Amino acid sequence: MTAASATPNTVTKVVQGSSSAPDWTATASAISNSVVSITVTTSNGGGEGSGVVIDSNGNIVTNNHVVSGATSGGQLTVSVGNKTYDAKVVGTDPSTDLAVIRVTNPPTSMKPIRFADSSKLTVGAPVMAVGNPLGLSGSVTTGIVSALNRPVTTTNGDDSGDLLGSRDSSSGVVVTNAIQTSAAINPGNSGGALVNANGELVGINSSIASLPSSDRSQSGNIGIGFAIPANLAKSIADQIVKTGKATHAFLGISVRDADAVESNVKIRGAGVASVTPNSAADKAGLRQGDVITKIDDTEIPSGESLVGLVRSLKAGQTAKISYIRGSKEATVDVTMGTAKS
């Protein structure tokens, strides 16, 4: 049996009778007016994507690469069912590939989604991806959480994910410690919702893994999709709605992949290549040559993983960093600085 509970101005929460066999029909129905289709029309053509309603004022969170054309003069519209509304960009955050847009006169049918605590997600949990894949609005697919804290590199404007990339957002590349899911995600799903069986947002669909192709054409889903965790999406969206932009945590190191040895065991981590003077890392005593292996309870297997995890933290937030210096492990509390705009 499936029950439901409602909170004013938010989507109905679906209470599942069975965690092992969710009633996905009820979930899809509950969030049908919380996920919208987005169209950007420019002089060069345009594109389509998805977005998630986050409040009753018409604010919608999506991917930056979905609406980037609208920031340079393109027309932006949002569709709910068979109705289309004008929208405008409130603010963008290219470093996390997130953006907020706002429907000019939001209809009462648009229902803000509920946010889940994405830090409590577990591998194997059932999830549903909702969006506008290939222009097919209102599409849903189901699967499971395949992995957590997966370091994924994407290029703004491209729906493809690269697990081995090493660049950063200064060159238009985004590194995210993403949720990996088997729920089918295709081009056009970007900016849509990844929800749990209760209809609560756990992530913003953002990219797919694709097989190499000689002509660089965009492939469809191969069973590996990625979503930006809901906690990060909420933090960035709240800042953009309030101020038009977002701030980010700054640790103050450059990193590379590195190995360390402790008790005759080789441990993969993020090697500290350099430390910025007077930065959070410098003040905490981190040094060149240290190998960072964990932040709080999350293991750090690579430099890219560290970059993605730091970007999920807030400026001023304190985190416990575990590292190996020589052959000895140590931990230190680090209060994150603020990255320059």
Give the C-alpha separation, 117 to 314, whole Å. Answer: 16
Name the active-site residue from 95, 137, 190, 322. 190
Please say if 65 is a catalytic residue.
yes
As given in the structure block, the two tokens for residue 276 are 């910025």
Rounded to 5 degrees, what are φ and ψ at 224? -130, 105
Q: Confirm whether 166 is a catalytic residue.
A: no
DSSP characters for 22-88?
Answer: --HHHHHHHTTTTEEEEEEEETTEEEEEEEEE-STTSEEEE-HHHHGGGGGT-EEEEEETTEEEEEE
> Is residue 263 flagged as an active site residue?
no
- 164: CB partners within 8 A, 6+ apart: 153
Residue of 65, 146, 159, 182 marked catalytic: 65
Q: How far apart are CA 338 and CA 341, in angstroms?
A: 9
In angstroms, rounded to a whole number, what is the distance separating the alpha carbons of residues 291 and 268? 8
Catalytic pick among 93, 97, 159, 290 = 97
What DSSP letter does each residue of 84-138 carry, written as one string?
EEEEEEEEEETTTTEEEEEESS--TT--PPEEP-GGG--TT-EEEEEE-GGG-TT
Positive or negative torsion for Cα 26, 30, 34, 39:
positive
User: Residue 191 is inside which H or E element, if any?
Assistant: none
Helix (H, G, I), strand (E, B) or coil at 222: coil
What is the set of active-site residues? Answer: 65, 97, 190
